[in-house]
Amino acid sequence: MESILNNKENNIDPKTGKFFPFKKEGDIICRAYLEIRAEYGTTLKEKAYHKLLKEWFSQNNIDYLYEPSLEIRSKFSNRVIDLYRPDFIVFNKIPLEVKATRMTIKRDRDQLYNYLRNSSYEVGYLLNFGTSKRYIKRIIYTNDRKPYLRT
């Protein structure tokens, strides 16, 4: 998989002129979060937000996988040693982790970071619907920083 760094010209924020990988896709993810949160608030269970996101993605013709398996392979034998299950893979390139807790803790961010670290995905989003303030966290972990992907 080609690194997002190799395609910088398509990922420049027109407002700031800065590099922003998958900006268009990120804007759509944020819009889904904001619309659902505005309509349903912060008190539903996490699975309810999953169902609402699935419905929103389907109605807006957004490609997604729900709870797909990400294989974790041994760098020594290349055998599968574990599986991760992010809540969504959106646009076939962005892992999405959804929470509905009053606080976002380091473990939540680490969970998404581990999905990126152990796969060829480079950008992921953590959405927490349960916090009093809106919470959207974008994490970038580019493939050039993943030794097992280097050839």
Percentage of the chain modeled with pLDDT above 70: 88
The predicted model scores a pTM of: 0.87
Provide the mean pLDDT of the chain.
89
Cα–Cα distance measured from residue 151 to residue 42, given in angstroms and rounded to the nearest whole number: 45
pLDDT value at residue 1: 44
pLDDT value at residue 29: 98
pLDDT value at residue 146: 82
Q: Mean per-residue pLDDT for 48-57?
A: 98
pLDDT band at 3 (very low <50, low <70, confident <90, very high): low
Phi/psi class of residue 140: alpha, beta or left (left: φ > 0; alpha: ψ in -120 to 50)? beta
pLDDT of 123 > 80? The answer is yes
Q: Mean per-residue pLDDT for 7-24?
A: 72
pLDDT of 68 > 90? The answer is yes
Q: What's the chain's Rg over C-alpha atoms?
A: 16
pLDDT value at residue 73: 79
pLDDT value at residue 18: 72
Exposure string over 74-107, b if 16+ CB within 10 A, otherwise e: eeeeeeeeeeeebbbbbbebbbbbbbbeeebeee
Residue indicated by tokens 């680490």: 110
pLDDT of 72 > 50? The answer is yes
pLDDT of 149 > 90? The answer is no
